[in-house]
Amino acid sequence: MKKYLVTGAAGFIGANFLKYLLGKYGRDIYVVVLDKLTYAGNLGTIRQEIADERVRFVKGDIGNAELVAQIFAETDIDYVVNFAAESHVDRSITNPQLFLETNILGAQNLLDCARKAWYRGKDAEGHPLYAEGKKFLQVSTDEVYGSLTKDYDEPHPLEITDPDVRRVVSGRTDLHTYGKRFFTETTPLDPRSPYSASKASADLFVRAYHETYGLPVNITRCSNNYGPYHFPEKLIPLIIRNILAGQKLPVYGKGENVRDWLYVEDHAKAIDAVLQRGRTGEVYNIGGFNEETNLNIVKLVIAIIARIMREEPEYRRVLKTDVENIDERLITFVGDRPGHDMRYAIDPSKIARELGWYPETPFRVGIEKTVRWYLDHQAWVDEVVSGDYQKYYEQMY
């Protein structure tokens, strides 16, 4: 049986990962969840999971050395998967300090506790030895690589030249790009926001713990996720919520910035693959081969909701506006995010080649599922925005 410490599992991706793990591994798993339950963490998201006897929930900070050491002392943890972070770029611009504390110091504390708990002395040549089968996986982001330029104004069909990658991603005709260059695992780190600077710093500490202490680690760098339980401060769930309320849809700048979108369950599968089969010490990029401009994303979500409301009138019960109001007139261009990265584009060839992973969910399928999930889970949305969110929203927009 493998024992996991999953941090930040009351948040968006961590919760989806926890649900995926419990579904996949049956009785053969035990998970300690450590989450501070910040504004972004919601126990309601994982209510069913924490009632499961395979799960223990601990409310606390990843930066709390005593608490984390105690978790390692009580449970012989095999895998640490660190999702816990301050994750919103806009908030990092107004309060960078918090991002340093959680994303850097918190991650370093987890690394240190894992190192001490797993250390088993030195081999004949003086190299540190660790207990068998252990791994520390840091969940990082494409944003650490900085920003790419756009070479095309319209989506350009993606040509995969590597035959091994082409075989893994076979049969997909919808993959496209807005540029010629992509982030690979060897692209130099070039973070530009306080958020990405904090995530890049954590990555460097993970590498340092591997190089200096021999700690068995992996780093995964993923593109923008979307799917169920995404907090409505982020673009896609914010747009869905505002459309349903008939509120303006704030698009930064001209809406030309490009993000690569990946369905969250595909991210969970990638992390599982890296934990099980990833080569120790390696970085793996995870991406959707699915770039889109923000404006196109917003237009697409409007179109999906308008269609659902037309064709399935029973859904109109979640509307706080008239169906006729759901169209592109809701879009409003607002001031740009300072230092707004123009384009992110992940090249996930390494994980495809080595681990056979690829983005399984076509965007049109994933986004339809996501919109429907939000229509069916308005109570969840109301619950997570009930705290400080209103104040935050009024300050932001």
- Residue 137's nearest CA partner among 208, 220, 76, 200 is 220
With beta carbons less than 8 A apart as the criterion, state whether 175 and 169 touch: yes
244 binds ligand NAD (CB under 6 A): no
Is residue 322 part of the annotated active site? The answer reads: no
62 binds ligand NAD (CB under 6 A): yes
Under rule CB under 6 A, which residues in 189-228 are in contact with ligand NAD?
Answer: 199, 222, 224-225
87 binds ligand TDX (CB under 6 A): yes
Is residue 142 part of the annotated active site? The answer reads: yes
Which position among 130, 195, 263, 284 bears the catalytic label? 195
Is residue 392 part of the annotated active site? The answer reads: no
Distance CA 189, CA 207 (A): 13
Distances (CA, A) of 202 to 13, 194, 197, 211, 275: 18, 12, 9, 14, 18
Distance in Å, CB of 235 to ligand TDX, minimum:
4
Distance CA 89, CA 94 (A): 9
- Residue 119's nearest CA partner among 110, 108, 107, 132 is 132
Residue 102 contact, options ligand TDX, ligand NAD, none, Cβ 5-8 Å cut-off depending on partner type: ligand NAD
With beta carbons less than 8 A apart as the criterion, state whether 287 and 382 touch: no
Cβ proximity to ligand TDX, 5 vs 251, nearer residue = 251
257 binds ligand TDX (CB under 6 A): yes
With beta carbons less than 8 A apart as the criterion, state whether 333 and 397 touch: no
List 18, 46, 84, 275, residue binding ligand NAD (CB under 6 A): 84
Residue 252 contact, options ligand NAD, ligand TDX, none, Cβ 5-8 Å cut-off depending on partner type: ligand TDX
347 binds ligand NAD (CB under 6 A): no
Q: Binding marks (x or -) toward ligand NAD, 32..61, rule CB under 6 A? A: --xxxxx-xx-------------------x
Under rule CB under 6 A, which residues in 192-231 are in contact with ligand TDX?
Answer: 224
Distance in Å, CB of 89 to ligand TDX, minimum:
4
Q: Tell me which stretch binds ligand TDX (CB under 6 A): 65-73, 81-89, 159-167, 204-212.
A: 81-89
Amino acid found at 109: N
Paired strand residues for 140: 221
19 binds ligand NAD (CB under 6 A): no
List 238, 274, 330, 371, residue binding ligand TDX (CB under 6 A): 238
Distances (CA, A) of 23 to 27, 29, 67, 136, 151: 10, 10, 28, 22, 42
Which position among 86, 143, 233, 266 bears the catalytic label? 143
Task: Show the tokens assigned to 317.
Answer: 């019960």
252 binds ligand TDX (CB under 6 A): yes
- Any alpha helices (H) in 133-234, and if so which ranges? 163-168, 194-213
With beta carbons less than 8 A apart as the criterion, state whether 226 and 291 touch: no
Residue 177 contact, options ligand TDX, ligand NAD, none, Cβ 5-8 Å cut-off depending on partner type: none
- Residue 240's nearest CA partner among 199, 190, 300 is 300
List 5, 32, 63, 309, residue binding ligand NAD (CB under 6 A): 63
Distance CA 235, CA 390 (A): 16
Positions of E strands within the chain = 2-7, 29-35, 55-59, 79-82, 119-122, 128-130, 135-141, 156-157, 176-177, 217-222, 224-226, 249-252, 258-263, 283-286, 291-293, 331-334
Supply the DSSP symbol for 43: G
Size of the site for ligand TDX (CB under 6 A): 16
11 binds ligand NAD (CB under 6 A): yes
Residue 12 contact, options ligand NAD, ligand TDX, none, Cβ 5-8 Å cut-off depending on partner type: ligand NAD
List 78, 143, 266, 291, residue binding ligand TDX (CB under 6 A): 143
- Whose CB is nearest to ligand NAD? 11
List 8, 216, 232, 288, residue binding ligand NAD (CB under 6 A): 8
With beta carbons less than 8 A apart as the criterion, state whether 61 and 36 touch: yes
87 binds ligand NAD (CB under 6 A): yes
Binding site for ligand TDX (CB under 6 A): 87-89, 141, 143, 224, 234-235, 238, 250-252, 257, 259, 294, 337
